[in-house]
Amino acid sequence: MPLSDLSLPELQQFFPKRSEPADFDAFWARTLDEADAHPLDPTFTPETGPLTGVEVCDVSFAGHGGQRVHGWLVLPVHRDGPLPCVVEFPGYGGGRGLPHEQLLYAAAGFAHLVIDVRGQGGSWRAGATGDDAPAGDGSTHPGFLTRGVTDPDRYYYRRVTVDAVRAIAVARSHPAVDPTRIAALGASQGGGLALTVAGLVPDLTAVVADVPFLCHFRRGAEIAATGPYGELARYLAVHRDRVDRVFRTLDYFDAVNHGARATAPARFSVALMDTTCPPSTVFAAYHHYAADKRMEVHTFNGHEGGGAYQDGLNLTYLRSAFEIA
Amino acid sequence: MPLSDLSLPELQQFFPKRSEPADFDAFWARTLDEADAHPLDPTFTPETGPLTGVEVCDVSFAGHGGQRVHGWLVLPVHRDGPLPCVVEFPGYGGGRGLPHEQLLYAAAGFAHLVIDVRGQGGSWRAGATGDDAPAGDGSTHPGFLTRGVTDPDRYYYRRVTVDAVRAIAVARSHPAVDPTRIAALGASQGGGLALTVAGLVPDLTAVVADVPFLCHFRRGAEIAATGPYGELARYLAVHRDRVDRVFRTLDYFDAVNHGARATAPARFSVALMDTTCPPSTVFAAYHHYAADKRMEVHTFNGHEGGGAYQDGLNLTYLRSAFEIA
Amino acid sequence: MPLSDLSLPELQQFFPKRSEPADFDAFWARTLDEADAHPLDPTFTPETGPLTGVEVCDVSFAGHGGQRVHGWLVLPVHRDGPLPCVVEFPGYGGGRGLPHEQLLYAAAGFAHLVIDVRGQGGSWRAGATGDDAPAGDGSTHPGFLTRGVTDPDRYYYRRVTVDAVRAIAVARSHPAVDPTRIAALGASQGGGLALTVAGLVPDLTAVVADVPFLCHFRRGAEIAATGPYGELARYLAVHRDRVDRVFRTLDYFDAVNHGARATAPARFSVALMDTTCPPSTVFAAYHHYAADKRMEVHTFNGHEGGGAYQDGLNLTYLRSAFEIA
Amino acid sequence: MPLSDLSLPELQQFFPKRSEPADFDAFWARTLDEADAHPLDPTFTPETGPLTGVEVCDVSFAGHGGQRVHGWLVLPVHRDGPLPCVVEFPGYGGGRGLPHEQLLYAAAGFAHLVIDVRGQGGSWRAGATGDDAPAGDGSTHPGFLTRGVTDPDRYYYRRVTVDAVRAIAVARSHPAVDPTRIAALGASQGGGLALTVAGLVPDLTAVVADVPFLCHFRRGAEIAATGPYGELARYLAVHRDRVDRVFRTLDYFDAVNHGARATAPARFSVALMDTTCPPSTVFAAYHHYAADKRMEVHTFNGHEGGGAYQDGLNLTYLRSAFEIA
Amino acid sequence: MPLSDLSLPELQQFFPKRSEPADFDAFWARTLDEADAHPLDPTFTPETGPLTGVEVCDVSFAGHGGQRVHGWLVLPVHRDGPLPCVVEFPGYGGGRGLPHEQLLYAAAGFAHLVIDVRGQGGSWRAGATGDDAPAGDGSTHPGFLTRGVTDPDRYYYRRVTVDAVRAIAVARSHPAVDPTRIAALGASQGGGLALTVAGLVPDLTAVVADVPFLCHFRRGAEIAATGPYGELARYLAVHRDRVDRVFRTLDYFDAVNHGARATAPARFSVALMDTTCPPSTVFAAYHHYAADKRMEVHTFNGHEGGGAYQDGLNLTYLRSAFEIA
Amino acid sequence: MPLSDLSLPELQQFFPKRSEPADFDAFWARTLDEADAHPLDPTFTPETGPLTGVEVCDVSFAGHGGQRVHGWLVLPVHRDGPLPCVVEFPGYGGGRGLPHEQLLYAAAGFAHLVIDVRGQGGSWRAGATGDDAPAGDGSTHPGFLTRGVTDPDRYYYRRVTVDAVRAIAVARSHPAVDPTRIAALGASQGGGLALTVAGLVPDLTAVVADVPFLCHFRRGAEIAATGPYGELARYLAVHRDRVDRVFRTLDYFDAVNHGARATAPARFSVALMDTTCPPSTVFAAYHHYAADKRMEVHTFNGHEGGGAYQDGLNLTYLRSAFEIA
């Protein structure tokens, strides 16, 4: 898979103008306020199973509209005092999976909360959370990206974002977690959600966004050769008269705009042969990110990005961010 | 694309045992009863536009749960007395489209009602009807086939089927339509829905099912190389522990089971190189269809089936069924 | 399918120098003169069938070399006085099809003549006209684009162009048609032929060219990733010593050169993700088109272009061009 | 590419009933008689070039309809007396190529005549012979297999077959060739033509047919996943009403029927992973071949078949057939 | 991806005759004896890093020819007494990876030794062990499967097998490991090696083989549509004269033959849509496996097989096999 | 396949800075000196077979490390005095093949030595030479390009280059060869090796490099969409931390650097649609080539390049370079 986006020197200069609705902050303030009508009501149910080195809780809480959202909290069995916590969001199509798929951060001595992205989890890693979808005003393209996309209030990612923001509070509510040391983390869609949360939650310790999705939707829809940005392109290929309206909705959800409000330090990674989240969309988010940041570039990778190698860098970074000796 | 299913002689003998829940009829009686709580409330709004040979109405009615479902009613401008009516259901991913995409049946002198399949219409022909989806108990694979698939009551096609059954009543309610001459028709998903309606509505004049989908789901999921049966296979590849549960739900929706209750004569067509609706799934439905029937076989076609050539055969057949000289 | 040609701002400035033989006009004058040796001899045979709203004639006339070319003339059954007529040319590989595939323009109150492109009609919509092909000086690549391509006099599209030009006269010869209101129309190959006819027939009312083919052959052969321009590339990959000679022939047939002589107003459409007729080849034709013109841009479409949505725009445009209130 | 046709034991028993028109022999007698109206008129023009070890003549002769067909005659420079001659027919889409592509048989001490297949030679190896194609009764699918396929008299392979039969006489007419020792040889289409010639020319010394095409057209059209049999399938996918008529034409050209009349010994080869000329089509021809025969089976090959390895076997076989010590 | 191998009922009866050299046991006795000339010399070097819950050692030992083979030993930090140990072999193209990719078995309270497969680890998970390859008698197809395949003594998998057998001894040599409770485990190539070890090492506690590779090579080479069996097919497509010789070599390495000597209980899993290790090759191994066994069937999966879901079943099974309450 | 690299005008200006180790010359002087420890020891064994026009010898000689390397020497049977000799290197994955695959240069009156590339010959044309590969420090990606790539001394192409340089001496050692007239020639990998030899052997008469591989590895790894440069990209996608180290090794083997030392005249050819050896990598080598040179450009070809047409040009060029009247 050859390079197909801008060259690295061009990417390093790629600073596209942001497209942001005037009421962006008002929209999100209202959205989160409405969500507060539903008490968070987190539950942590211990899970029994063959794992002896970690303690696993089946987590649920009231997400958008009060709907129950599920996740796992994974803790090292042996711990001294409250732990810093990594809150992780899955990539597109995946869910929280099985507990034994979530061992990395506990093995590093962190608490780890991984939550479902509502409705997802039927494509590669199982999920347990449905999406109570209002009908919206019409048709969608298969996938999640176009559900309700003609109306910001009914757009699917409004619900997902509320869930993600509330997941931070869920993590903080558990007695084993040190609420002052929380990182938001994810790859692809998870990375885009981590950036989104970074713009909406003021006091995170760190943000990790690997090959993030949900950044600069228009460029993604125009140049991504694989992956979910293509759902937008295919939808707009049918609904040729809705192009402006759709991107007006997406402006509220663009992680580029959220990141421009972030205050927590962030570590990004990007893959130059990524045709699912093309590097220019990632650099757009990176260059507009408002706080301390660093970018790891993987030249010969596609959307797998830095993979386990990047996980290693992330662990080292998180230990430092969490001030672990 | 070579032949990849059974040979024609084998297909002609393919008569798989039906898998039918004991409460199949009760389930559908209850489902349609519940729907009756919402008055049909059809509206027909004349559409202006560049077409002078046909009269087009923007139709809407209360479908499942009372949600508004949209369609077009297309009538010849010049007509003498009530017309027989073709009620058509779209193929997977498509909607009612634009009025000028719906000229065939009016040009043949029929009334023509084409309705949206809720939520669809973002992939190839535009739709105008959303789907108010309850969250169900978890994740889905992108597409419509797995929405709520673990529970017959919340399964997506329960809502779609109610809409389709009610569309027959909508057609009958229009003064230009002769309510005693109604045909249900469609290709692929539309063919599957026509067979479904044939099992649930007692007094249709004719049924036309071209390369029907929604027939013998299990075989479809096991052998279809392209198209939406693969959504089931991919979902079950993730949810390995739900295989039985999913097919138990689908038994309520299998057009093989609906057709086994049909009383109207039907014309089927099948394409032997079809990898989306493999011919054995079509022959399964054909062989179990309970009323008068005929099958047109297209040897060298894929899922496009008989295309416009079959449309011509269907017109001739419908004229005869409608007793037009 | 991501964008792969120039960006929209670049396309809007793309004005390549035309490559035109000195005897271009002489060649075509001679060609059309020679054709006049064969009287047009149009025949219109009424077609019976299941369609009641339209009157269909099986048309034939003497095309290039006197060979019979076939088409359909479709008329609304109910009409007052002569009708404006749309003369349509099919896309590559298709023929006139079946009458019930040609209902759009009659439903809008126009006469509609659709003709075969000789030899084609075996790939997606059936045709009824063969091509009496002189042997030329050698081999061809499968397809029609390289038949006789080393010699303008024996090139396949010389015959096709004569047929297309004469089709305008055929339309004008029918009593139901108003000979002063004729539009040439088509998509892909049909759009290229509409532009060609626009340069060779002086008094058309309107021209509609959707995602036209046959424009800027060299660029097409160099950058089209799909579709028939590739036939040229594959032929020249074998006949490496004929590159100049082949493009010298094609210069006589390039719709860019024909359009530069047009006098009728034209409506173009282009799709930015079109890899069969790349947008730069369409903009080349558009920018050189000599008469009043307008371009509709579809950002997220491939070669399907504006599809039925564009048909709607075209109907509105044609009504206005035909001065229908 | 896995095995996808019958298993080897099944292939060894595969003996399908032949479908042969009653007037098969009369058709070919008439065809060849008509051809005799045109004197053969072979010309042999010495070719100069960089090759010093072989003598090359540019050959032409009057093929079907008197049209000039081209080829190369390649002879070893150093020779004693008349040589046995290999007459070779190219594979689909290829022509005679350049003289230095035709060195194998001269290096083995044979005369070698390779002729063009009219019209072909634009896809992989250049040809120099056009095809003067009568229009026939309609459309074709790109490629050569459907040209005139609705009428045996106007079918493309009627012309090609006449050319091939006459090429044997051309070889015999050259003074350097021993007219009593002629082999017909080819791979794929060339193999099918070698078998065809074996049925129409009574006194060949040997026949070599590697992975032959043009055998059991119906099965080829039904199961070949790649290559030109697919042209038939795609044509019949459009012309759904011509299936019987097309195969009735093809029965005159099926190498299975020609081989059933052969008298010369033949060597076949087949590749079990061949999806272009599936092994069952080859075994059908093999089992019906009427004279002495042998089959070489290549288990792990696709349509490349035995390649150069098989060439080596063929050289050894031909030396023996030509009674070279 | 549809089913493409035998049906499940056929698979359950698929019991192909084994092809086994007379000196199979002698060959392996000699091979392992020769290996004993090199003392095992295991080294365990503690690895520092960000993981706090596990203790990781960089392992190396003398494999075939005394060459150093690398792996990781991962142990829970908190442990009481010696632990049962899972010895794992990677899938084709992968190596031991990074320590934080190997957390599953330690989290379940087991010791876990994962070793490199020499030379591999450049395709999906990094490896650290080269392969000192003798030239053998000629060419190879890219990949590992054909290295030295014409000679059992120089075949690549002879070296790999020796490494794998010795890895069991390495595990037993570590003081934290209970040498009486060792399981051999792997997926794909790793599953094939687990079965191989099961035939060569007499006293294992358990064997886990998920979608195993290296079983019934001939059928694999004939029917696998994807993956490394294709390397054999492509090699034999070139070396058409070596088919028998190559399979004679492979008979020594077929896990079907090794499993027929096994004494430890085994758990297999198979995926019916697996085109890399087709289910019939897995059932062949399963049916010939000589000890207690059980098969888990995943109907809708490809070569990913049971994935994390199967890992969960395996953990439960291993706890039971290791007699953990 | 459209153009995907730079445009021709850009290519004509593409003159990238070379990346060359300071000890490049010392490395190769040492490498060739070490090789001299093994006497060349060429053997020429006459091969009997069906070819009467050429004399074929099975050649072997001591290549790198003294390992025997195999080839064919093909001579015209009829010759007067010593002949100029073409030494040819195969493309990636191929070997010397069978003698009757090597007839071109002897037919032109040259001696022709074609040698194996060690280890290769299992993918498309058979080889007979293995590669005695030291283990190196770790894993490889399937294929040859990454064998030992972390260390110039153990890199696979060091061995291959020594073999190639020595092949020139082998040619000169045969009595039928005129040692003052030697050309190095090849396509793809063979072209890269011809350029490499041109930099290491001072007194060649001519060099022919068609679509050469092994030129500007980094650009190849970044932009080649097909072929072996991708092996590098995939290896580096796993070994993300070795990018610099790998390209440091490859700098010693880049034909761009070798060609910058060449003294013999060279003829290059390039194909603008080549995605295996992208044209910019070829132009990089061409522009840095230090001696007289000429480039043939094939616009519409992929990696097949000029094929037999280019062979014809090459024959003419070689006759001139060898001063044959």
| Per-residue model confidence as pLDDT tens digits over A212-252 | 999 999 999 999 999 999 999 999 999 999 999 999 999 99
Domain spanning D8-321, CATH class: alpha beta
What's residue A137's pLDDT? Answer: 65
**Would you say residue A149 has pLDDT above 70?**
yes
User: Which residues from chain B sit within 8 angstroms of residue E298, using beta carbons?
Assistant: 237, 240
Which positions of chain D have pLDDT values less than 70?
136-138
A/C interface, count of CB pairs below 8 Å: 34
**E117-171 pLDDT, tens per residue?**
999 999 999 999 999 888 766 678 889 999 999 999 999 999 999 999 999 999 9
**Would you say residue F115 has pLDDT above 70?**
yes
Put simply, whether A127 touches B (Cβ < 8 Å) is yes
3-class SS at A85?
A: strand
**Sequence letter at residue D281:** T
CA dist A175 and D316 (Å) reads 85
What's residue E140's pLDDT? Answer: 83
**Would you say residue A325 has pLDDT above 90?**
no
Confidence of residue B39 (pLDDT cuts 50, 70, 90): very high
Confidence of residue B137 (pLDDT cuts 50, 70, 90): low
**Sequence letter at residue D48:** T
**C175-196 pLDDT, tens per residue?**
999 999 999 999 999 999 999 9
Nearest residue to B131 via CA among B70, B193, B196, B217 = B70
Q: What is the mean pLDDT of residues C49-69?
A: 97
**B41-58 pLDDT, tens per residue?**
999 999 999 999 999 999
**F28-46 pLDDT, tens per residue?**
999 999 999 999 999 999 9
SS3 string of chain C?
CCCCCCCHHHHHCCCCCCCCCCCHHHHHHHHHHHHHCCCCCCEEEEECCCCCCEEEEEEEEECHHHCEEEEEEEEECCCCCCEEEEEEECCCCCCCCCHHHCCHHHHCCCEEEEECCCCCCCCCCCCCCCCCECCCCCCCCCCCCCCCCCCHHHCHHHHHHHHHHHHHHHHHHCCCEEEEEEEEEEECHHHHHHHHHHHHCCCCCEEEEECCCCCCHHHHHHHCCCCCHHHHHHHHHHCHHHHHHHHHHHHCCCHHHHHCCCCCCEEEEEECCCCCCCHHHHHHHHHHCCCCEEEEEECCCCCCCCHHHHHHHHHHHHHHHCCCC
Portion of chain F with pLDDT greater than 70, in percent = 99
Helices (H), chain E: 8-12, 24-36, 104-107, 156-172, 189-200, 217-223, 229-238, 243-251, 255-259, 279-288, 307-321
Confidence of residue A135 (pLDDT cuts 50, 70, 90): confident
Q: Mark yes or no for CB contact A299/F236 under 8 Å.
A: yes
In sequence order, the 6+-apart residues with CB closer than 8 A to the CB of E317 are: E206, E208, E267
Across the interface, which of D119, D132, D134 has its CB nearest the CB of C140? D119
Give, in degrees to the nearest 5, the angle at Cα D207 between D206 and D213.
180
**Which of C48, C51, C75 is the best mutation test for B, with the most CBs of B within 10 A?**
C51
Is residue F314 a contact partner of residue F185, using CB atoms and an 8 Å limit? yes
Which of the pair, A12 or E139, is modelled with greater confidence?
A: A12
Is residue B315 a contact partner of residue C100, using CB atoms and an 8 Å limit? yes
CA dist F85 and E233 (Å) reads 36
Q: What is the mean pLDDT of residues A286-292?
A: 98
B224 token code pair: 């279809």
**Would you say residue E307 has pLDDT above 70?**
yes
Catalytic, D60? Answer no
A191 token code pair: 């990375």
In sequence order, the 6+-apart residues with CB closer than 8 A to the CB of B124 are: A238, B91, B93, B94
What's residue C141's pLDDT? Answer: 86
What's residue F133's pLDDT? Answer: 85
**Lowest-pLDDT choice from A68-82, B133-147, E51-65:** B133-147
Catalytic, C174? Answer no
CA dist D71 and D42 (Å) reads 11
Nearest residue to B105 via CA among B173, B183, B48 = B183
User: Which residues from chain E sit within 8 angstroms of residue B240, using beta carbons?
Assistant: 298, 300-301, 306, 309
pTM across the whole model: 0.97
Catalytic, D203? Answer no
**Would you say residue F137 has pLDDT above 70?**
no
CA dist C5 and F263 (Å) reads 42
Using a 10 angstrom Cβ sphere, with 0-12 exposed, 13-18 middle and 19 or more buried, the burial of residue B45 is exposed
Tell me what ipTM this predicted complex has.
Answer: 0.96
CA dist B82 and B92 (Å) reads 31
**Would you say residue B136 has pLDDT above 80?**
no
Portion of chain E with pLDDT greater than 90, in percent = 95
CA dihedral A202, A208, A211, A216 (to 10 degrees): 10
Across the interface, which of F2, F298, F302 has its CB nearest the CB of C240? F298
Burial F246-261 (b: 16+ CB within 10 A, else e): bbebbbbbbbbbbbbb
Compare all CA atoms of chain A with the CA of F222 and give the residue at the minimum distance: A2
**B254-272 pLDDT, tens per residue?**
999 999 999 999 999 999 9
**Would you say residue C136 has pLDDT above 70?**
no
What's residue F325's pLDDT? Answer: 73
Strands D54-62 and D68-76: antiparallel
What's residue A226's pLDDT? Answer: 96
Q: What is the mean pLDDT of residues A265-287?
A: 98
**Would you say residue B115 has pLDDT above 70?**
yes
User: Which residues from chain B sit within 8 angstroms of residue C95, using beta carbons?
Assistant: none
Q: Which residues 253-312 of B have a C-beta within 8 angstroms of D? A: 273, 298-302, 304, 306, 309
What's residue B139's pLDDT? Answer: 76
| Nearest-CA distance B314 → chain E (Å) | 32
What's residue E230's pLDDT? Answer: 97
Q: What is the mean pLDDT of residues E204-217?
A: 98
Q: What is the mean pLDDT of residues B191-207?
A: 98
Q: What is the mean pLDDT of residues C45-67?
A: 96
Across the interface, which of D122, D134, D141 has its CB nearest the CB of C132? D134
What's residue D136's pLDDT? Answer: 67
Q: Which residues 101-120 of F have a C-beta within 8 angstroms of E? A: 116, 118-120
CA dist D288 and D209 (Å) reads 14
Residue F241 carries which DSSP code? Answer: G
**Would you say residue B191 has pLDDT above 90?**
yes
Which of the pair, F141 or A100, is modelled with greater confidence?
A: A100
**Would you say residue B6 has pLDDT above 70?**
yes
C214 token code pair: 């046959």
Across the interface, which of E78, E125, E308 has its CB nearest the CB of A100? E308
3-class SS at B72?
A: strand
* C309 is an annotated ligand-binding site residue: no
